[in-house]
Chain A
Amino acid sequence: MRRGALFNLPFRPLLIGLAALFVPVAIVMLFGMGLWGPAGCIEASFLAFLVCGLMGKVFGGSVADASRCSFAWTLPRYRRVLLGEFVLCGAVVSGVAGLIATGIGTIPHGGLVAVAVAFAAFSLGGALGLVPESPLLFPIGFVVLFASLSTAHAAAVSAAAASAPVVTIVVALALSALALWLAFGRRTFRWSALTGPRQSGREIWHEWPKVPWWPRHGAWFARRAPQAPSRPRYVGSSVLRGVACDSRATKRATWLAGLTVCALLFVVFGPSALYGAP
């Protein structure tokens, strides 16, 4: 049961298995949608990076929901178990990416590079979801990534990464370690436990004052933070709602429906994407 610290949150193990089978569908489709020339591969790799990053963000979101629960701080080894299961998910995702890259075989040691880069993307995505600075970093990172997709710099970075695989692997693993350390460190965990649940439906800039080093606007900020970094909005309202985590389990039926659609798309468009390269 303890092994399901993260897995038992939004997902069920069976669904994780099914999802793992269809992750290749998504990645292959993305590869397929790009062009198969060198330029196409570069764009595709950035997109794959994005996919892995988003998956990390989703899993990181579940971890965030768990770590913001009031029981999280005193639950023994909770941090460690969550980290372990997060890394396990990351290993699966990056393993799949590695397999695909090996299959395509455009760069030397392509498989290992893909594993390292995918894991780095996953960890960074998770970190962006977890760290206190996330409301600031996430939109910035997202915008930067999309902006760079279409510039010449993207091509240069990808070419450099492809030409020096060992360096790329080392840098990627270092980034992963840094991201995981930031995301699962005590400081972040402490901040999460104090901040409480994520408020769904609020604009992201409402979250900025919660970032620890947000410049203090003197008295204005001091008045806003008398005792705790944040207070739920409805404290003091006449009807107190139970404060509970927002994470709602996606129902099994929704999952199966979504995966079926992905599978159908793969069956219909996949073969032409893989083999019918222009």
Chain B
Amino acid sequence: MGELIVETSGLTKEFGEVTALRDVSIALSGPSIIGLIGRNASGKTTLLRHIVGLQLPTRGQARTFGVPTRRLGHEQLARIGVVPQLPNFIGWMSVREQLRYLSAFYPRWDLDRQSFLLDLLDLDARSEVGGLSAGNAQKVAIVAALCRHPDLILLDEPVSMLDPIVRDSFLKLLLDLVQEDNATIVISSHVLHDIESTVDWIVCLDAGTLAANAALDDLKDQYAEWRVLARSRDLPARFEGPFVLRHTVVNPRAARLIVRAAEADRLAFQQTHDVDVEVAPLNLQGLFPILVDSRRH
């Protein structure tokens, strides 16, 4: 697809007895929008911190822009924009002063984009940073991260605290950034509905392990819900098949299966069991519990 931006191999992070990440190996290339999904405390924030070098792996390796994260220098860090979940700034400065303070450190600071973003996110530049609500503090973090045209943007739960109108404009903005800046965006969220419309790649974490690492479209192609209706005789109690992941009996002649199969498998299945199969595709909301669950089988 493009340049290899983030690469981890066997990444493991332990905090004493707790293992936050267990043997995570991914390779993300850009430009692209990557959705990092998972339940709470699944290791999403920890993974993002490893990408930027803020935490170091206990075992395994992490590389960003080809450089091992423990040696990330200011040239690489200047290309990364981070919007943390709970940002904090210098409390007594106004938003404008804070942005001006930060802009002095970067060679390219786009003032046009700054005013555009302040407008888009509906943020008053004169308000004092210390008195901002959590959502507004996050908006300041977004502006601070984006005004310098970073190549890699890491967003940790950015939309959960934005109101719906701003959320919508913000997600559309991400699409623009990918095209304008050729940026790679990693957006971590547990609100699947929002990011589904924007991402093209999914990295799913479950209790620190990698549950899925594929294009969203591929996942939607592979997984489906089959509504099985018997043609002549009652359905068997169990369906044998390597691709059958879950089986719910509705009545003796109808069942719901969650499968990971291709069209050919469906036709063969129809023949073998003498049934009619109606395919209902699964969106990200429907896929998520299966991705997280199937790893355990």
- Direct contact between A and B in the complex (CB less than 8 angstroms)? yes
Interface set of A (CB-CB < 8 Å, partner B): 1-2, 4, 8-9, 65-66, 68-71, 73-78, 81, 190, 193-194, 196-197, 216, 218-219, 221-222, 225-228, 232, 235, 240-249
Choice from A9, A74, A244, A248 contacting B88 with Cβ under 8 Å: A244
B287 nearest CB across to chain A (Å):
25
Q: Are A70's CB and B130's CB within 8 A?
A: no
Chain B contact residues: over half helix, strand or loop, or mixed?
A: mixed
Which chain A residue has the least Cβ–Cβ distance from B42? A227
List the B side residues contacting A227 at CB < 8 Å.
15, 18, 20, 41, 43, 45-46
Q: Are A71's CB and B134's CB within 8 A?
A: no
**Per-residue A-contact encoding for B99-130, CB less than 8 Å = 1, 0 else:** 01110111000000000000000000000011
Bound Cα distance A249, B90 (Å)? 10
Q: Are B105's CB and A216's CB within 8 A?
A: no
Q: Are B134's CB and A242's CB within 8 A?
A: yes
Contacts A2-B105, A74-B52, A190-B54; A244 near B132 (Cβ below 8 A): yes
Q: Are A244's CB and B91's CB within 8 A?
A: yes
List the A side residues contacting B86 at CB < 8 Å.
70, 196, 232, 235, 243
List the B side residues contacting A247 at CB < 8 Å.
90-92
Q: Are A222's CB and B15's CB within 8 A?
A: yes
Choice from A2, A9, A244 contacting B104 with Cβ under 8 Å: A2
Q: Are A71's CB and B16's CB within 8 A?
A: no
**How many cross-chain pairs have Cβ atoms below 8 Å apart between A and B?**
125
Q: What would 28 A/B residue contacts be, using CB atoms closer than 8 Å?
A: A8-B101, A68-B88, A70-B84, A70-B88, A71-B144, A74-B77, A74-B78, A75-B105, A76-B77, A81-B105, A190-B54, A193-B54, A194-B49, A219-B17, A222-B16, A222-B18, A225-B16, A225-B18, A226-B18, A227-B18, A227-B41, A242-B131, A242-B134, A245-B90, A247-B91, A248-B91, A248-B92, A249-B92
List the B side residues contacting A77 at CB < 8 Å.
74, 105
Chain A contact residues: over half helix, strand or loop, or mixed?
A: loop
List the A side residues contacting B18 at CB < 8 Å.
222, 225-227
List the A side residues contacting B91 at CB < 8 Å.
244-248
List the B side residues contacting A2 at CB < 8 Å.
104-105
B147 nearest CB across to chain A (Å):
12
Q: Are A242's CB and B90's CB within 8 A?
A: no
B53-109, CB < 8 A from A: 53-55, 74-75, 77-78, 80-82, 84, 86-92, 100-102, 104-106
Q: Is B137 an interface residue (CB 8 A)?
A: yes
Q: Are B74's CB and A76's CB within 8 A?
A: yes
A79 nearest CB across to chain B (Å):
9
Q: Is B29 an interface residue (CB 8 A)?
A: no
List the A side residues contacting B104 at CB < 8 Å.
1-2, 4
A231 nearest CB across to chain B (Å):
9
Which chain B residue has the least Cβ–Cβ distance from A196? B88
List the A side residues contacting B88 at CB < 8 Å.
68-70, 196-197, 242-245
A247 nearest CB across to chain B (Å):
6
Q: Are A245's CB and B16's CB within 8 A?
A: no
